[in-house]
């Protein structure tokens, strides 16, 4: 494997990201990536969703596709070589019996025959084909790349997101009013399963030499994850406190560096509860489609920092400069979404270092 990244680069990544988690880095972390055209024009860039290739493609053939992508990628600033087995958002639903249907753009989970909520009893199945596939791909990727690439955890999902895939979103919204006790039971059971899946995946990725990374652009020297509950956009703070917050707290307790994916303005009413969690290290703010970009939410970003939390954002180069000039850089991890040339990336990193 030929990467545009050296052992000296890795030493810098480990040093600076470790300092950032400890609150000891006085500058922002800034990640810029550039991907060249495929080395083999006959083989285009792979679909990001590994589930798209099904369960039958040999694992090494699957990894060959992503290795070719890694070999034409350049990492600037605080970016680093990373690959995570992307089987779709909330793949744990498939571990629990939902049917996964992958397209080039996403992965959907279908319930073929919804049962009454009182009859739903999710259980760990070591022989579930999707769970076995995720474990096999993760284990093989670590064995193959673990000294050169950070191999991440798959996107397990959030407890109510997983439950919505098993019940359908509409049914689960009704359940919150009609059968809140059953929802509470299932949210606890799904969280217990989540923790088991996470622990087993952590055991696999820990065999690599290059730290940990969730599905989001973060690097950690120890166990970490980007926790989420996209379903929480549609519920009240009172429901969030009962059905989601205990899940987030339990997951935070199971790892060293926990983050939360705050996706859209409908999640903002839950923010103070999240910020009150001592074991939650930080918040990723995603404004959502049609909303102003991250740099237009300066009071919200300051609120996160003032609570003593870290903050991760996906933002344009211009947006990153505005944030750093307005709030300072300490505590931010900024993933730049612009497609920059090498010279443009160099100029931008020089500008933000003096902002």
Question: What stretches of 277-341 show up as alpha helix (H) in DSSP?
Answer: 298-306, 317-327
CB 311 within 8 Å of CB 333: yes
Q: Is residue 336 classed exposed, middle or buried when 0-12, 13-18 and 19+ CB atoms within 10 A define those classes?
A: buried
- Nearest 10 degrees: Cα torsion 301, 297, 247, 50: -110
pLDDT for 162-213, tens place per residue?
999 999 999 999 999 999 999 999 999 999 999 999 999 999 999 999 999 9
Sign of CA dihedral 203, 208, 214, 220: positive
Domain layout of the chain by residue ranges: 13-36+213-355, 48-71+81-209
- Per-residue pLDDT tens for 296-353? 999 999 999 999 999 999 999 999 999 999 999 999 999 999 999 999 999 999 999 9
94-149 per-position pLDDT tens digit: 999 999 999 999 999 988 677 899 999 999 999 999 999 999 999 999 999 999 99
Q: Which residues of 121-159 are buried (b: 16+ CB within 10 A; e: fewer)?
A: ebeeeeeeebbebbbebbbbbbebbbebbbbbbbbbbbb
What distance in Å separates the CA atoms of residue 221 and residue 36, rounded to the nearest whole number? 29
Q: What is the pLDDT at residue 234? A: 96
Q: Would you say the C-alpha torsion 206, 210, 211, 213 has a positive or negative sign?
A: negative
Task: Give residue 111's pLDDT.
Answer: 82
Q: Count CB atoms within 10 A of the CB of residue 7.
A: 9
Whole-Å CA distances, 263 to 106, 213, 234, 275: 17, 19, 11, 15
* Tokens coding 4: 């545009």
């Amino acid at each position: 494997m030929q990467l545009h990244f050296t052992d000296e680069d890795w030493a810098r990544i480990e040093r600076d990201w470790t300092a950032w988690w400890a609150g000891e880095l006085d500058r922002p972390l800034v990640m810029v990536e550039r991907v060249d055209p495929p080395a083999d024009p006959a083989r285009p860039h792979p679909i990001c969703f590994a589930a798209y290739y099904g369960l039958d493609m040999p694992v090494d053939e699957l990894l060959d596709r992503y290795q070719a992508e890694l070999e034409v990628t350049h990492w600037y600033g605080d970016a680093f070589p990373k690959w995570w087995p992307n089987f779709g958002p909330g793949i744990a639903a498939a571990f629990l019996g939902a049917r996964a249907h992958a397209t080039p753009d996403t992965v959907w989970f279908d319930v073929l025959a919804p049962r009454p909520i009182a009859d739903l009893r999710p259980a760990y199945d070591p022989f579930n084909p999707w769970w076995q596939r995720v474990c096999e791909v993760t284990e093989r990727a670590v064995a193959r790349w673990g000294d050169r690439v950070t191999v991440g955890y798959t996107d397990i999902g959030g407890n109510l997101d997983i439950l919505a895939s098993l019940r359908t979103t509409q049914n689960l919204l009704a359940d919150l009013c009609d059968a809140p006790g059953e929802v509470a039971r299932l949210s606890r059971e799904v969280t217990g399963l989540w923790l088991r899946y996470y622990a087993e995946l952590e055991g696999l990725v820990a065999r690599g030499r290059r730290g940990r990374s969730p599905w989001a652009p973060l690097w950690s020297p120890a166990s970490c994850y980007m926790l989420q509950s996209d379903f929480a956009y549609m519920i009240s703070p009172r429901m969030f406190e009962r059905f989601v917050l205990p899940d987030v707290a339990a997951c935070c307790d199971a790892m060293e560096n926990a983050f939360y994916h705050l996706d859209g303005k409908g999640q903002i009413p839950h923010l103070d509860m999240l910020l009150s969690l001592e074991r939650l290290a930080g918040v990723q703010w995603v404004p959502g489609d049609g909303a102003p970009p991250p740099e237009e939410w300066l009071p919200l970003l300051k609120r996160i920092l003032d609570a003593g939390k870290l903050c991760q954002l996906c933002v344009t180069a211009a947006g990153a400069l505005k944030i750093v000039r307005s709030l300072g850089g300490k505590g931010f991890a900024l993933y730049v979404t612009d497609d920059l040339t090498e010279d443009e990336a160099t100029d931008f990193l020089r500008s933000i270092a003096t902002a």
